[in-house]
C-alpha cells in the first residue's frame, strides 16, 4: 500500500474557493464582517481586562 501525503491548501486558496476571489462583492463583504468581528472581540477583551464591563451579557 502506497502512503499518499495529504494535499495542503493555503488559507487564501480555501477562502477564494469558498467565499470568492479578492475584489468580488461577496469576498469584500466577508472581509469587512470579519474585520468588524475581530475589532469587536478586541474591544470586549480590553474592556474585560480593565474591568469596564457593565452588562453581564458582554462578559461571556
CB distance 19 to 27 below 8 Å: yes
Work out how many domains the chain is built from and give that number.
1
Range of the domain at 44: 26-60
Considering the domain boundaries, does residue 9 fall inside one? Answer: no
Which pLDDT tens digit goes with each residue over 4-42? 889 999 999 999 999 999 999 999 999 999 999 999 999
- At 59 the pLDDT is 55
- At 52 the pLDDT is 77
CA distance 38 to 17: 22
Considering the domain boundaries, does residue 49 fall inside one? Answer: yes
Is the pLDDT at 60 greater than 80, yes or no? Answer: no
CA distance 38 to 51: 20
Per-residue DSSP letter, 4:
P
Is the pLDDT at 1 greater than 90, yes or no? Answer: no
Considering the domain boundaries, does residue 2 fall inside one? Answer: no
Amino acid at each position: 500500500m502506497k502512503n499518499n501525503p495529504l494535499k495542503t491548501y493555503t488559507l487564501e486558496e480555501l477562502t477564494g474557493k469558498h467565499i470568492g476571489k479578492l475584489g468580488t462583492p461577496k469576498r469584500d463583504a466577508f472581509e469587512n464582517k470579519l474585520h468588524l468581528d475581530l475589532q469587536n472581540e478586541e474591544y470586549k477583551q480590553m474592556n474585560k481586562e480593565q474591568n469596564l464591563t457593565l452588562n453581564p451579557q458582554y462578559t461571556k
